[in-house]
Structures are given as structure tokens and as C-alpha cells.
Amino acid sequence: MPEYRTRALVLRTFDQGESDRLVHLYTETLGRVSAIAKGARRSKRRFPGTLEILTLIEARIVDPPRSSLMRIEGAKLAEPFEGLVNDLGRYAVGCQLLEMLDRFTAEREASPELFRFAEGVLGVIARETPDRLLALLVQLKTLARLGFRPQLASCSVCGGEIQAPGPMAGFEPRHGGAVCASCREPGDTDVAPGLLLALEAGIRTPLRDRGQLGLGPGALRRALVLVDRFFRYYIGAELRTDDFLRKTLPLDRLDANQRPEDTPPTAPDPTGGDCEERVRSGSGRLDSDGAGPRRRLEAPE
């Protein structure tokens, strides 16, 4: 039976029966796969610390001929992304990326480029002070990688360059993005051309340089609405992690280290195997020492 060794990001896990665990992986060489980890629930030693979301593993996977599910035979921890699990804001942004990979990529369609993009982005998020602009740019960059890049620097109707400063432009997902002042129709959204160009720069700029885009809270609020409309138009769904992001990284501050006293974010339930469940349950709080949503290596299996 075919056997593969590949690096893989753990996207989501589910308990399966008494002793097994079903794992969604985004692998470097096979794309997204669902695989069963036999005995993972029963034995702590079989997959120690490797089948946790937001980890990068080296997996040995077999593809049994008469089964639609692959099987994880072994896994070695390659990168635990500790920075993602010890801060709730970074965790939320990381979960957003995992959700997009899990829901909007085709099963067994390999894209090593997308894998390396995700690996790189998670590595950056793990070191950044998280904020909503970071989350927005991760979403935009990922959308672009998935083939849904909004047109921002030129008019999606006539192709004319968007210029800032300049007359009010528009943004219409049905056309593919930006609409210049001459092509705008009555009722179309109006958007400052500078904002469109800042978002275009955001897709091209490394995440850590996002402070240079000049997007203040007002522009960011506007940008979130535009990207949300674009996302719904092309993906036809909303991200389940959106709500978690909104609560974890409120817009009234751009610096995630200053959480307002009256709205303490809740940490997802550390017993669940996926971001969404943890987010929905809303149970648990950050540890009193601020150690984050969970301590992976100490977590009971």
C-alpha cells in the first residue's frame, strides 16, 4: 500500500470511537487529507504532542487501497509554533488561516507553494504582536493564494489605474474589486482610492511591515467591511473564526497587548480538537499568568 512521508500542518482533529482520532492535515506533498490516527486516544505515547492543531509535523501516512481515509502511521513534531499557543490573539489569527486551509482547499490536491506559504505565515504570526490588521492581511494574502485575489490597483471594469489622491473610487465584488470614479454606478460603495492602494500594498508587503501601510482604525474598519463583502461573494460563507477574532482583537485598539478591562477574551476550551469548537464553547479563560489558551506540552491527552 502506498506510503508517504510528508511535512504537514494539523488543521483539525476529532475523536473517533474509543481509541482513535481523525485528523485533518494540510500536507506539503499531498495537499489536504483526512487521516485516521489509530490508538491516538488510547495511548499517550503513540503520538506525543504531535496531533494538536497549529503544529507542524513530519508525518508517515499510508493510503489503504479500499478506504477513503488515509492512516497516520507515525508523526514527529517539526515545529510546535509555541508563540501561537501562548497568546490568544496570535492563536485566533492562526486559527483563521487553518480554517481557510481546511474549508477552502480541495482534498488531495497538492500545492507545496500553499503549504510553504502557510508555514511561513504561521511562523511570522508566532512572533508578531497580533492585531486586526494582521488578521485582515493574513486573510487577504490567503485568499490571493487560493485564487481569489481582489483587483485593487486598477479598475476591474475599465482597467484604468487607481490613483491616490484622486476622486472617490468604489469596490464591487461582482466586478472583481476596485472600480474607478468614471465606472462607478449610482449605489456602488464609495472607497477612498488611498485605501484600495494600501490594501494592494498589504498583499505584497511582508506582514511584519504592515505598520508602514498607514492604515489607521477608521481605514481598517472600512477595509474589514470591504474584504468581508468580497469574501462572502466569492466563498459564499463566512469564517467561523470571525467571531473569535472580533472578541479577541477588538477594533478599538490596534495593539493586542492592551485588552480592555471590561471585555476579557475567553480562551477556547482546551479539550476540543479544533479552533471552531473551542471558539463556540467560549469556555475557559486565559491562565491567570497570561500563559495563553493552553499549554500544549502539559495538556492531558
For Zn ion, which residue of 114, 180, 224, 279 counts as binding (CB under 5 A)? 180
| Rounded least distance, CB 39 to Zn ion, Å | 60
Site for Zn ion in 114-133 (CB under 5 A): none
Q: Tell me which residue of 36, 34, 3 sits closest to 106, measured CA to CA.
A: 34
Name the residue nearer to Zn ion (CB basis): 169 or 215.
169
Binding range to Zn ion, per CB under 5 A, among 40-48, 60-68, 178-186, 207-215: 178-186
* Core vs surface per residue 195-211: b (16+ CB within 10 A) or e: bbbbbbbbbebebeebe
Q: Does 279 help bind Zn ion (rule: CB under 5 A)?
A: no
Of 160 and 250, the one with the shorter C-beta distance to Zn ion is 160
Phi, psi for residue 83 in degrees, rounded to 5: -60, -20
Judged by CB under 5 A, how many residues of this single chain contact Zn ion? 6
Nearer Cβ to Zn ion (163/271) = 163
Residue choice 10, 75, 138, 183 for contact with Zn ion (CB under 5 A): 183
* The only residue of 69, 158, 164, 299 in contact with Zn ion, by rule CB under 5 A: 158
**168 near Zn ion, rule: CB under 5 A:** no
Q: How far, CA to CA in Å, does 69 sit from each of 28, 64, 111, 147?
A: 18, 8, 20, 27
In whole angstroms, the minimum distance from the beta carbon of 162 to Zn ion comes to 9
Q: Closer CB to Zn ion, residue 2 or residue 165? A: 165
d(C-alpha 70, C-alpha 63), whole Å: 5
Tell me what percent of the chain is helix, strand and coil, each rounded to the nearest 5: 35, 20, 45
Shortest distance (Å) from residue 191 CB to Zn ion: 13
- DSSP-based three-state secondary structure for 95: helix
Q: Which of 23, 157, 224, 254 binds Zn ion (CB under 5 A)?
A: 157
Residue 159's φ and ψ, nearest 5 degrees, are 85, -5
Closest CB to Zn ion among 98 and 183?
183
Distance CA 259, CA 250 (A): 8
DSSP state of 267: P
Taking the complex as a whole, the smallest distance from the CB of residue 201 to Zn ion amounts, in Å, to: 20
Q: Does 249 bind Zn ion (CB under 5 A)?
A: no
Q: How far is the CB of 169 from Zn ion (least distance, A)?
A: 9
The answer to whether 29 and 6 have CB atoms below 8 angstroms apart is yes
Q: Strands 70-79, 56-62: parallel, antiparallel or unpaired by DSSP?
A: antiparallel
Residues contributing to the site for Zn ion (CB under 5 A): 155, 157-158, 160, 180, 183
